[in-house]
């Protein structure tokens, strides 16, 4: 069967995109002509299923025989040739947690692994630490375990290995410990047969599943009504036999409708995302099956027998309905749109004489729907990612690289804390915006209606209870008028000005992910075109393109239903993938690779061809001819010692190592550098079998017809107010017509707003090619006619837009740092922060990366300004970059956190600063990792930098910084200089990205305006905190006091005095204990960070994070106390431990919640197994941990019952049990091992943590909170973290 549908074959060919708000249809009619249609996705009073109803309507109107297809009867399929569908059914089921009842089957010791996830929280300021529910209801732990042999067998003789292989369970290979303090029963490490797995690695099955025990456990699930199973075992990606065994047992029981095995769903390393992926498959696939049953119910019996029914997968390819799994369906809806704009917008165009061919521009796809907006990029190939997170579930599968922002036509509108806020809440399809006439919510669509940009007379009459009324303009105006009367932010604004303000803020919210998608990956955003689609996109595209500096906008003639149109042209595809552990290229001493060595040659082509044949046969089984199948081969590659793998497509290069050539080129573009001296490894072999869909021809040149006659006139609101604009009907326009904005163009199912100065040309295909006029303001805008500077007045709309821009710049700095850094701490654990500052060092925007960094960098910036401008010093010059880390003298937190600061100059003057702080893996000191548990002075903790010019006159001072890091006297210098230098360069690069973006902002708006709004945004945050403090004082009094203690008994005491009139407050830490002979001392910057984090969390709404949060606060911190120590004492633990206690003390004073981690609050139970408050770094996946380090992770789970009891219970801590495979040095620095985390308001305290050493003979030793020592083979380190306190008195 051919790949694409056949036009004019006497059949109807449908492409249907079922979105959250609307269902769009594209249909090729029996005579070959095309039509499009749109209807509401949810309208229960009129039809059960929107795709079925849409198909019925088209058949009813266009049946060539005149046959009627009434609602309520099964649809006649005799004239239907094919149906292609993209659907949000799986996405919605995931978001709303409405999938099949499902059980998780997992390796013993890891039942809580998916609940723990990577221990981070998505919103660091949410004290409830909300997380979506896990997908499974029940868990079965299977007594099975597979370990990698490499580390254990290293250095052992073959005779020793042979002996280990022949031992059996009867020969005491169980390692049992049972005492009142600790009980465990694990199979001995290293005992068992060595088996070569899929990747070529040797594995040791330590323990195999017991079939009888499995059958009994699964029966108990079935008895509880569980219908679906997800099975995931550690290292099953390389050794799947245990999963296969359990899966076969489950199938033989005939109890389960869906059984998903993780190695079949996605055979890639990382057990957590693989576990989530197989869970998604088991949870969602039955839901898709259920939906299909309902869908097919609306048709006659011929649907499944005679109609080709395909579904769009998340990777942009079609698959038969029977092969469509839940984990492949997450982006099924948006994927059609990506294919649509890729095939219609990325095309060369002909010049006027039909001989000049212009190169295609890379295209940004802008799909604005009702509930959200999706943005993506296309430059000749579909860009895929292989791990994404949706609704708290990490999906490990090929997916289009689509970025989603919660701003769409249905995004609700609010006025909060002096800001215009758009979303993330949505009015949804039902009840929808106010203008839908269903008692809905004020939304973006209402603003467009009020502004005359969406005209009810030109929109389908599908609204109201009987779906036969137009959009409600009067209702929308009334809702804005009500909002205006109720909020001071709207004072002096007309309804139109209010609505236009929200449109501007919505546009900026949607510009933000586009900037991230391009600029953070090294692409020039202005060199792209913007392809807009979705029903609401054309109303916003020109304004957004102007804001982004994009000069070209494409609007397809089917732009309102482009996702459906893309489905009609999509490729069919099959993915086949297997894990690998191969060396592709061996590094040589010259910085390149040895072309005479190809270690993977013997297996690479064989394995790729095996996968290619599987893909080819799968497509032929679907009915495609062998000749139509195109095979694409890929290697998933990375540098040795890194985790950033890149999928590299087979190259036609004549190079001896073509994949390496392409990998190095792409790595340099993505990350900005190459890693000399490191081998290139293969992690996965992948093949994509493709049958190409319809491809459009290059459009023909068009004659120049000039301006067409308008269809009419209307009034619409633009930046200068109401304008009388011409309107045009798309069907009246001919190729060659040009239209000058402002104007409004009506498509059958969309409305295009042409902004002032933009020019739209109609192409030969009937699409619109829009040239966008660029309007820039500058400093002249703030100068009056007589030459005097005019005062810039704070405007809430502009304030909201600048809040987005400032935070967006800080976020992009962070992405640049993560992209260009080398170390695991920064690149993978994301232990860094980036921020913008005013010219005097005041914090403007701090991207919410690591809470303990929040606000702390301001002290560091201001110190450098004072230091270098002091008398006798050289001052600050253009081309300088400063570096510091000294906690007490230079505003640092602890020595591993190095801050890089860059001044920004404009016409010879400093206008701003940018800074980045990153945790370096080692900077010297007495302990590897520079986190010594028992340091007592700063020198023992590594290199300290008070002030140094890392870059001087534009030149990186490698020799000087190397001397500081390496030569530390009688204390060892850094053990990882190469990574230090690379990460420092990455921090400089991150700052440079911030400089570039701030210069662009100044160019767009003028320096005076940017400076003004930096101060306005600080004032906005200040007022939000003052209002919160006033509210607290009104409810609880003007004075509050709290105290808590470190494990050594040192108190942290806080008295807060609030002025109820001004909202000012004094935070007095008098009573806090003296600095200690240890490393839990915390410099003042740490206290400032802890307080700014606490205040931002207490405000409870999304406000700008900057120095304004601390402006109302006066600090009193006693000198030489724990929180204000001398400049030579140890502080490395203060940053990570004392900071947490300061937050606990502040939140206790505000009666907010019980002690971390995580404490319960007035309306919530504490979340278990999560990083709380001042930390939010990612924990390493268990499979990566065991691949990278010589350890066996025996157990990682929740510590049940460790949270405090109460009306609301505190969250439980975790248990990690680690066994070394060779002698190791362990170091641990911890707290809450002596004193319990407090409960609040009658809630009980949580259990303290414990650190245990289990000796080979079973002796259990409590090693205390802080310890460094040896950990020998056969011993185990057991870490039990404390729980969170309970809240409120428990009731019986």
What pLDDT digit, counting tens, does each position of 963-1006 carry?
999 998 889 999 989 889 989 988 998 898 899 889 989 988 89
User: Given this model, what pLDDT does residue 175 score?
Assistant: 57
Partners of 386 in beta bridges = none
Look at residue 678 and tell me whether its pLDDT is greater than 50: yes
**What ranges in 227-348 are assigned the alpha helix state H?**
241-253, 262-265, 271-297, 302-306, 332-345
Q: What is the mean pLDDT of residues 590-598?
A: 85
Report residue 887 as tokens.
Answer: 């906690």
Look at residue 1047 and tell me whether its pLDDT is greater than 60: yes
Categorize the per-residue pLDDT at 785 as very low, low, confident or very high, splitting at 50, 70 and 90: very low
- b vs e for 834-864, b when ≥16 Cβ sit within 10 Å of the residue's Cβ? bbbbbbebbbbbbbbbbbbbbbbbbbbbbbb
Q: What is the mean pLDDT of residues 373-389?
A: 85
Which region, left, alpha or beta, applies to residue 1042 given φ > 0 means left and ψ of -120 to 50 means alpha?
beta
Partners of 582 in beta bridges = 682
Lowest mean pLDDT among 514-523, 566-575, 1201-1210, 1219-1228: 514-523
Lowest mean pLDDT among 1015-1019, 1093-1097, 1176-1180: 1176-1180
Look at residue 405 and tell me whether its pLDDT is greater than 60: yes
User: Given this model, what pLDDT does residue 775 score?
Assistant: 64
User: Given this model, what pLDDT does residue 1197 score?
Assistant: 96
| Sheet with 1113-1116, edge to edge strand ranges | 1039-1045, 1051-1058, 1065-1068, 1113-1116
Q: What is the mean pLDDT of residues 1082-1106?
A: 88
Distance in angstroms (rounded) separating the CA atoms of residues 1156 and 1149: 14
Q: What is the mean pLDDT of residues 246-268?
A: 94
Cβ-proximal residues to 1279 (8 Å cutoff; 6+ apart), any chain: 1214, 1215, 1216, 1217, 1218, 1228, 1230, 1249, 1250, 1251, 1252
Q: How far is CA 1091 from CA 1066, 1133, 1134, 1164, 1187, in A?
A: 12, 18, 15, 22, 39
- Tally Cβ neighbours within 10 Å of residue 585: 27
User: Given this model, what pLDDT does residue 493 score?
Assistant: 87
User: Given this model, what pLDDT does residue 28 score?
Assistant: 93
Q: How far is CA 1050 from CA 39, 1005, 1067, 1122, 1200, in A?
A: 66, 52, 19, 8, 29
Categorize the per-residue pLDDT at 7 as very low, low, confident or very high, splitting at 50, 70 and 90: low
pLDDT in tens, 1240-1261: 999 999 999 999 999 988 889 9
Asked if residue 1076 lies in contact with residue 1050, where contact means CB atoms within 8 angstroms, the answer is yes
Look at residue 733 and tell me whether its pLDDT is greater than 80: yes
Distance in angstroms (rounded) separating the CA atoms of residues 123 and 720: 38
Report residue 295 as tokens.
Answer: 């869908």
Is 513 strand, coil or helix?
Answer: helix
Q: What is the DSSP letter of 887?
A: T
Q: What is the mean pLDDT of residues 689-705?
A: 80
Q: Name residue, tokens 């490894």.
A: 681
Categorize the per-residue pLDDT at 672 as very low, low, confident or very high, splitting at 50, 70 and 90: low
Cβ-proximal residues to 878 (8 Å cutoff; 6+ apart), any chain: 903, 905, 908
pLDDT in tens, 200-209: 899 999 999 9
Closest among 316, 261, 266 to 684, alpha carbons compared: 266
Cβ-proximal residues to 185 (8 Å cutoff; 6+ apart), any chain: 174, 175, 176, 177
pLDDT cut 90: percent of the chain above it: 52
User: Given this model, what pLDDT does residue 353 score?
Assistant: 44
Q: What angle do CA 223, 228, 231 make, to 5 degrees?
A: 105
User: Given this model, what pLDDT does residue 1115 score?
Assistant: 96
Q: What is the mean pLDDT of residues 216-238?
A: 96
More confident residue, 717 or 671: 717
Q: What is the mean pLDDT of residues 673-682?
A: 84
User: Given this model, what pLDDT does residue 357 score?
Assistant: 53
Distance in angstroms (rounded) separating the CA atoms of residues 854 and 831: 12
Lowest mean pLDDT among 179-188, 452-461, 599-608: 179-188
Distance in angstroms (rounded) separating the CA atoms of residues 673 and 816: 12
Report residue 717 as tokens.
Answer: 């609101």
- 3-state secondary structure labels for all residues of 1016-1071: HHHHHHHHHHHHHHHHHHHHHCCEEEEEEECCCCCEEEEEEEECCCCCCEEEECCC
Look at residue 160 and tell me whether its pLDDT is greater than 60: yes
More confident residue, 489 or 1018: 1018
Lowest mean pLDDT among 146-155, 895-904, 920-929, 1064-1073: 920-929
Look at residue 780 and tell me whether its pLDDT is greater than 70: no
Cβ-proximal residues to 843 (8 Å cutoff; 6+ apart), any chain: 835, 836, 837, 855, 857, 858, 1018, 1106, 1107
- 3-state secondary structure labels for all residues of 1103-1123: CCCCHHHCCCEEEECCCCECC
Look at residue 776 and tell me whether its pLDDT is greater than 70: no
Distance in angstroms (rounded) separating the CA atoms of residues 473 and 459: 12
Q: How far is CA 430 from CA 287, 435, 436, 447, in A?
A: 21, 12, 9, 18
> What is the end-to-end Cα distance of the chain in Å, rounded?
68
Look at residue 778 and tell me whether its pLDDT is greater than 60: no
User: Given this model, what pLDDT does residue 176 score?
Assistant: 59
Asked if residue 1290 lies in contact with residue 1206, where contact means CB atoms within 8 angstroms, the answer is yes
User: Given this model, what pLDDT does residue 509 score?
Assistant: 85
pLDDT in tens, 787-843: 556 778 888 888 888 888 898 898 888 888 887 787 777 877 778 889 999 999 989
Look at residue 915 and tell me whether its pLDDT is greater than 90: yes
Cβ-proximal residues to 1142 (8 Å cutoff; 6+ apart), any chain: 1052, 1082, 1086, 1087, 1090, 1091, 1123
User: Given this model, what pLDDT does residue 394 score?
Assistant: 81
Categorize the per-residue pLDDT at 171 as very low, low, confident or very high, splitting at 50, 70 and 90: very low
Categorize the per-residue pLDDT at 180 as very low, low, confident or very high, splitting at 50, 70 and 90: low
Distance in angstroms (rounded) separating the CA atoms of residues 945 and 647: 40
Q: What angle do CA 360, 365, 371 make, to 5 degrees?
A: 170
Cβ-proximal residues to 305 (8 Å cutoff; 6+ apart), any chain: none
Lowest mean pLDDT among 42-46, 218-222, 286-290: 42-46
Asked if residue 1062 lies in contact with residue 1098, where contact means CB atoms within 8 angstroms, the answer is no
Would you give the distance in Å from CA 393 to the centre of its chain? 11
Look at residue 1091 and tell me whether its pLDDT is greater than 90: yes
Would you give the distance in Å from CA 372 to the centre of its chain? 15
User: Given this model, what pLDDT does residue 1265 score?
Assistant: 93
pLDDT in tens, 424-450: 787 877 788 989 888 889 999 999 999
Look at residue 774 and tell me whether its pLDDT is greater than 90: no
User: Given this model, what pLDDT does residue 496 score?
Assistant: 93
User: Given this model, what pLDDT does residue 181 score?
Assistant: 60
| Sheet with 897-906, edge to edge strand ranges | 843-846, 832-838, 909-919, 897-906, 881-884, 948-952, 955-956
Q: What is the mean pLDDT of residues 676-696?
A: 88
Cβ-proximal residues to 225 (8 Å cutoff; 6+ apart), any chain: 101
Which region, left, alpha or beta, applies to residue 706 given φ > 0 means left and ψ of -120 to 50 means alpha?
left
pLDDT cut 70: percent of the chain above it: 95
Cβ-proximal residues to 993 (8 Å cutoff; 6+ apart), any chain: 519, 520, 812, 813, 816
| 1138 backbone dihedrals φ, ψ, rounded to 5° | -65, -35
pLDDT in tens, 394-403: 888 888 888 8
Q: What is the mean pLDDT of residues 921-936?
A: 88
Look at residue 295 and tell me whether its pLDDT is greater than 50: yes
Report residue 268 as tokens.
Answer: 């890639």
Asked if residue 312 lies in contact with residue 318, where contact means CB atoms within 8 angstroms, the answer is yes
Asked if residue 439 lies in contact with residue 51, where contact means CB atoms within 8 angstroms, the answer is no
Closest among 169, 219, 218 to 192, alpha carbons compared: 169
More confident residue, 691 or 167: 691
User: Given this model, what pLDDT does residue 177 score?
Assistant: 56
Look at residue 354 and tell me whether its pLDDT is greater than 70: no
Would you give the distance in Å from CA 576 to the centre of its chain? 26
Partners of 918 in beta bridges = 832, 898
User: Given this model, what pLDDT does residue 351 score?
Assistant: 41
Q: What is the mean pLDDT of residues 491-506?
A: 89
Q: How far is CA 1121 from CA 720, 1069, 1092, in A?
A: 59, 9, 20
Categorize the per-residue pLDDT at 522 as very low, low, confident or very high, splitting at 50, 70 and 90: low
Q: What angle do CA 771, 772, 776 make, to 5 degrees?
A: 150
Categorize the per-residue pLDDT at 1164 as very low, low, confident or very high, splitting at 50, 70 and 90: very high
Q: What is the mean pLDDT of residues 31-54?
A: 88
User: Given this model, what pLDDT does residue 414 score?
Assistant: 87
β-bridge pairing 948-952 and 881-884: antiparallel
pLDDT in tens, 98-134: 889 999 999 999 999 999 998 888 888 889 998 888 9
């Amino acid at each position: 069967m051919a790949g694409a549908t056949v036009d004019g074959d006497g059949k109807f060919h449908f492409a249907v995109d079922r979105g959250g708000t609307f269902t769009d249809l594209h249909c090729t009619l029996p005579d070959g002509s095309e039509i499009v249609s749109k209807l509401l996705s949810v309208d229960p009073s009129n039809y059960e299923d929107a795709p079925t109803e849409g198909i019925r309507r088209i058949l009813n109107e266009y049946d060539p025989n005149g046959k009627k297809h009434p609602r309520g009867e099964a649809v006649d399929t005799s004239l239907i040739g094919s149906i292609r569908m993209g659907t949000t059914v799986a996405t919605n089921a995931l978001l709303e947690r409405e999938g099949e009842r499902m059980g998780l089957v997992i390796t013993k010791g890891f039942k809580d692994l998916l609940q723990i996830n990577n221990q981070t929280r998505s919103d660091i300021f949410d004290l409830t630490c909300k997380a979506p529910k896990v997908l499974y209801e029940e868990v079965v732990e299977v007594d099975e375990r597979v370990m990698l042999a490499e580390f254990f067998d290293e250095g052992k003789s073959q005779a020793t290995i042979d002996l280990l292989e022949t031992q059996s369970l009867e020969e005491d290979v169980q390692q049992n410990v049972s005492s009142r303090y600790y009980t465990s029963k694990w199979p001995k490490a290293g005992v068992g047969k060595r088996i070569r797995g899929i990747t070529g690695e040797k594995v040791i099955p330590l323990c195999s599943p017991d079939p009888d025990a499995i059958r009994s456990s699964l029966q108990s699930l079935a008895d509880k009504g569980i219908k679906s199973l997800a099975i995931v075992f550690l290292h099953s990606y390389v050794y799947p036999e245990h999963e296969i065994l359990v899966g076969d047992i489950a199938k033989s029981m005939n109890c389960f409708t869906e059984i998903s095995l993780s190695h079949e769903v996605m055979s890639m390393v990382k057990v957590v995302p693989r576990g989530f992926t197989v869970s998604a498959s088991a949870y969602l696939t039955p839901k898709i099956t259920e939906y299909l049953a309902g869908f097919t119910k609306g048709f006659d019996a011929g649907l499944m027998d005679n109609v080709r029914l395909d579904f769009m997968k998340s990777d942009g390819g079609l698959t038969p309905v029977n092969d469509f799994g839940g984990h492949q369906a997450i982006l099924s809806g948006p994927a059609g749109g990506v294919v649509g704009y890729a095939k219609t917008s990325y095309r060369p165009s002909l010049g006027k004489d039909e001989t000049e061919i212009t190169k295609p521009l890379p295209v940004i796809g802008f799909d604005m729907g009702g509930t959200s907006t999706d943005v993506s990029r296309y430059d000749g190939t579909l860009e895929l990612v292989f791990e994404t997170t949706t609704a708290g579930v990490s999906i490990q599968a090929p997916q289009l690289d689509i970025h989603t922002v919660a701003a769409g036509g249905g995004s609700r509108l609010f006025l909060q804390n002096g800001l215009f806020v758009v979303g993330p809440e949505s009015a949804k399809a039902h009840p929808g915006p106010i203008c839908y006439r269903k008692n809905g919510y004020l939304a973006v669509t209402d603003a467009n209606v009020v502004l005359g940009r969406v005209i009810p007379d030109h929109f389908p009459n599908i609204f109201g209870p009987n779906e036969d009324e137009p959009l409600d303009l009067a209702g929308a105006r009334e809702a804005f008028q009500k909002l205006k009367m109720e909020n001071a932010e709207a004072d002096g604004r007309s309804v139109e000005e209010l609505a236009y303000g929200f449109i501007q803020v919505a546009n900026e919210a949607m510009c933000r992910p586009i900037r991230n998608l391009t600029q953070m990956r090294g692409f020039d955003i202005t060199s792209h075109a913007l392809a807009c689609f979705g029903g609401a996109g054309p109303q916003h595209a020109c304004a957004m393109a102007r804001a982004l500096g994009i000069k070209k906008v494409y609007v397809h003639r089917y732009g309102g239903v482009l996702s459906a149109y893309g489905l009609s042209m999509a490729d069919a595809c099959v993915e086949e993938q297997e894990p690998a552990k191969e060396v592709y290229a061996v590094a040589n001493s010259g910085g390149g690779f040895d072309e005479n060595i190809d270690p993977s040659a013997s297996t690479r082509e064989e394995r790729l061809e095996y996968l290619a044949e599987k893909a080819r046969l799968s497509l032929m089984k679907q009915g495609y001819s062998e000749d139509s199948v195109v095979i694409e081969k890929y290697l998933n590659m990375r540098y040795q010692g890194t985790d950033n793998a890149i999928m590299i497509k087979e190259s036609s290069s004549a190079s001896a190592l073509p994949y390496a050539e392409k990998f190095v080129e792409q790595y340099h573009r993505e990350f900005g550098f190459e890693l000399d001296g490191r081998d290139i490894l293969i992690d996965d072999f992948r093949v994509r079998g493709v049958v190409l869909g319809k491809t459009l021809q290059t459009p023909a040149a068009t004659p120049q017809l000039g301006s067409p006659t308008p269809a009419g006139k209307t009034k619409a609101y633009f930046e200068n107010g109401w304008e009388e604009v011409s309107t045009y009907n798309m069907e009246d326009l001919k190729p060659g017509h040009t239209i000058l904005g402002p104007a409004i163009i009506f498509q059958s199912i969309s409305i295009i707003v042409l902004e002032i100065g933009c020019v739209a040309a109609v192409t030969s295909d009937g699409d619109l090619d829009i040239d966008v006029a660029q309007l820039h303001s500058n400093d002249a805008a703030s100068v009056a006619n007589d030459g005097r500077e005019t005062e810039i007045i704070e405007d809430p709309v502009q304030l909201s837009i600048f809040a987005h821009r400032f935070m967006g710049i800080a976020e992009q700095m962070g992405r640049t740092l993560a992209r260009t850094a080398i170390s695991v701490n920064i690149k993978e654990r994301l232990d860094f922060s980036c921020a913008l500052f005013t010219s005097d060092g005041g914090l403007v925007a701090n991207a919410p990366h690591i809470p303990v960094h929040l606000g702390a960098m301001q002290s560091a910036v201001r110190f450098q300004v004072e230091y270098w401008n002091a008398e006798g010093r050289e001052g600050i010059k253009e081309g300088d970059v400063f570096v510091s880390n000294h906690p007490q003298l230079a505003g640092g937190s602890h020595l591993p956190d190095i801050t890089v600061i860059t001044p920004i100059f404009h016409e010879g003057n400093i206008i701003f600063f940018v800074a980045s702080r990153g945790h370096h893996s080692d900077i010297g000191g007495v302990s590897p990792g520079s986190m010594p548990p028992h340091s007592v002075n700063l020198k023992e903790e590594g290199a300290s930098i008070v002030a140094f010019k890392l870059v001087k006159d534009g030149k990186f001072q490698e020799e000087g910084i190397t001397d500081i890091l390496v030569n530390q006297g009688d204390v060892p210098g850094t053990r990882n200089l190469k990574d230090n230098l690379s990460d420092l360069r990455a921090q400089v690069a991150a700052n440079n990205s911030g400089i570039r973006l701030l210069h662009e902002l100044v160019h767009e708006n003028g320096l005076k305006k940017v400076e003004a709004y930096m101060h306005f945004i600080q004032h906005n945050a200040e007022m939000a905190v003052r209002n919160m403090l006033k509210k607290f004082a009104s409810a609880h009094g003007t004075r509050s006091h709290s105290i808590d203690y470190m494990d050594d008994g040192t108190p942290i005491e806080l008295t807060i005095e609030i002025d109820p009139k001004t909202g000012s407050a004094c935070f007095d830490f008098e009573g806090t204990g003296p600095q200690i002979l240890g490393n839990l001392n915390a410099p003042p910057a740490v206290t400032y960070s802890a307080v700014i984090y606490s205040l931002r969390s207490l405000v409870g709404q999304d406000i700008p994070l900057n120095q304004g949060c601390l402006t109302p606060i006066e600090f009193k911190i006693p000198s030489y106390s724990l929180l204000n120590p001398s400049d030579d004492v140890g502080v490395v633990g203060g940053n990570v431990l004392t900071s947490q206690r300061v937050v606990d003390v502040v939140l206790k004073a505000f009666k907010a919640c019980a002690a971390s981690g995580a404490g319960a609050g007035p309306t919530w139970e504490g979340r278990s197994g999560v990083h709380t408050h001042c930390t939010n770094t990612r924990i390493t996946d268990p499979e990566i941990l065991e691949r990278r380090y010589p350890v066996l992770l025996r157990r990682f789970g929740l510590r049940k019952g460790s949270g405090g009891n109460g009306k609301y219970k505190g969250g439980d801590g975790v248990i990690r049990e680690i066994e070394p495979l060779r002698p190791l040095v362990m170091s641990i620095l911890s707290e809450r091992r002596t004193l319990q985390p407090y409960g609040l308001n009658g809630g009980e305290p949580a259990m303290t943590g414990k650190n245990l050493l289990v000796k080979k003979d079973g002796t259990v030793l409590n090693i205390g909170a802080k310890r460094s020592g040896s950990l020998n083979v056969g011993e185990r380190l057991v870490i039990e973290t404390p729980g969170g306190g309970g809240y409120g008195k428990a009731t019986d």
